[in-house]
Amino acid sequence: MFKKFTPSTDIAGQTPPKSSVQRSIRAAVLQQWKIGLETLEEIWPKKETLIHVKCREHISIYSVQNVPLFFQHFDGPFYPTLRLLHQYPFILPKVGVDRGAIRFLLAGAPMMCPGLTSAGGYLPPSEEALPKGTAVAVHAEGKEHAVGIGITTLGTEDMRKLNKDVAVEIVTHLGDDLWALQTL
Amino acid sequence: MSSSDQQEPQAVRPLEILYCQICTFPPEYCEFGSSLTRCKEWLQGAHSQLFDKYYSDEALQSKIGTLSLEAQAKLEKDTAKKEAKAEAKADAALKKKMASQVSIKRIERNKRKHVTAIHGLEAFDIELKKAAKFLAQKFATGASVTKNAQGQDEIVVQGDVSDDVMELIESGAGPLKGVPADNVVIVEEKKKKAGE
């Protein structure tokens, strides 16, 4: 999503949304992420107004004090930015890829099932299976921090069963243009 | 989405994350970046403990663990290649920057009124809007960022201020920092007489 992103041409405008809209965003974030009210308050204090940065192709980035915090494509799920995820690694469910896949991930490729099901990969156990279309933090074998954020295109159980084709579409990863964008 | 919504009584503190000063990645990912050698140097100097953690022999051994030797060799080769490529690119960019020129153009508006157009500042990472504001304040005139006939952005300042702008650039005042004075030229453009 952010493989090519130049702020000067791809940003259409920055506006603060209405407070009622902000409220609904806050509620949606609380519902979608594993995050407590207090923690969200730390990240995004009530007093601070959210700025909605409209970008091309229906991408909305939301920032507080010029720091991008999360983004959304059309009206899909909210994804935290990678920097925010590094600070609060528990907000998204985790999947892991093996070492061989890191290189491709950093080039923006979607993650295939074998990379997740192999010895180095990690999928949540069956009792915590994730459905299709979940925002996930993509971790890598032997690394502490997440390398990317993606959305599952298969349920985790299906990934184990089918074990081929795309499992996680990457929306943002280390070193892409959103990563380079530290302030707006 | 996630069904389990836990309510922590206390806010969870954010983790302190160290990022590499060179490639901005967390240091464990430097090996996948395009400036590994410089990243290593930086980490060794600034955080030698972490350096030992990531680049000691054991760490390297365990990393290879799940990969075949061949794949590992290929990976290393790729990294080296990528690094060389990035370096060449940075070099080329620097060269281009040094070769690019800033022109200060005095344009005649009518017989005794002029505007000054400054072109090419963006090559030196100057924010045109800020620079225009600065110039406007300095000379107490209007200054704006406009597109010229070729569709490139330039700063247009009202009044003949070319020499003053030259001086400002030379002294590197305010936002006009980092422009080598040798690359600045002053040009004069007379208004073409229309209808003759």
pLDDT (tens digit, 9 = 90+) per residue, A143-154?
888 888 999 988
Tell me the C-alpha distance between A112 and A121, whole Å.
11
Is residue B6's pLDDT more than 70?
no
CB B103 within 8 A of CB B185: yes
Q: Do B24 and A179 touch (CB under 8 A)?
A: yes
Which residue from B minimizes the CA distance to A119? B66
Q: Do A36 and B75 touch (CB under 8 A)?
A: no
Greatest CA span in chain A, whole angstroms?
48
Q: What's the pLDDT at B137?
A: 87
Q: What's the pLDDT at B59?
A: 64
Q: What ipTM score was computed for the predicted complex, to two decimals?
A: 0.78
Least CB–CB distance from B28: residue in A32, A33, A143: A143
Q: What's the pLDDT at B10?
A: 65
Q: What's the pLDDT at B8?
A: 44
Q: What is the DSSP string of A129-165?
A: PPPTT-EEEEEETT-SSEEEEEEESS-HHHHHHH--S
Q: What's the pLDDT at B196?
A: 41
Least CB–CB distance from A77: residue in B1, B67, B78: B1
Is residue B160's pLDDT more than 80?
yes
Tell me the C-alpha distance between B165 and B171, whole Å.
10
Interface test with B, best of A8, A26, A38, A179 (most B CBs within 10 A): A38
Tell me the C-alpha distance between B167 and B173, whole Å.
9
Which residue from B minimizes the CA distance to A84? B14
Q: Do B66 and A134 touch (CB under 8 A)?
A: no
CB B168 within 8 A of CB B151: no
**What strands lie across the sheet with B102-110, from one edge to the other?**
B143-147, B153-158, B113-119, B102-110, B184-189
CB A89 within 8 A of CB A146: yes
pLDDT tens profile A160-170: 888 888 888 99
Q: What is the DSSP string of chain B?
A: --------SSPPPPPP----TTT-S-GGGGGGSS-HHHHHHHHHHH-HHHHHHHHSHHHHHHHHTTS-HHHHHHHHHHHHHHHHHHHHHHHHHHHHHHH--EEEEEEEEETTEEEEEEE-GGGGT--HHHHHHHHHHHHTS-EEEEE-TTS-EEEEEESS-HHHHHHHHHHT-TT-TT--GGGEEEEEEPPPPTT-
Tell me the C-alpha distance between B133 and B128, whole Å.
9
Q: What is the DSSP string of B95-109?
A: HHHHH--EEEEEEEE
Confidence of residue A177 (pLDDT cuts 50, 70, 90): confident
Is residue B29's pLDDT more than 60?
yes
Lowest-pLDDT choice from A114-118, B112-116, B188-192? B188-192
Is residue A178's pLDDT more than 60?
yes
Integer CA distances (angstroms), A130 to A90, A97, A144, A164, A178, in order: 15, 16, 22, 17, 26
Integer CA distances (angstroms), B34 to A33, B20, B89, in order: 33, 12, 11
Q: What's the pLDDT at B66?
A: 55
Candidates B191, B194, B193; CA nearest to B114 is B191
Candidates B123, B33, B124, B39; CA nearest to B85 is B33
Contacts of B17 in chain A (CB under 8 A): 83, 86-87, 145
Which residue from B minimizes the CA distance to A79? B1
Q: Please tell me the pTM assigned to this model.
A: 0.73
Q: Do A103 and B78 touch (CB under 8 A)?
A: yes
Q: What DSSP character marks residue A57?
A: G
- The number of angstroms, rounded, from the C-alpha of B196 to the middle of its chain's C-alpha atoms is 47
Is residue B4's pLDDT more than 50?
no
Is residue B106's pLDDT more than 50?
yes
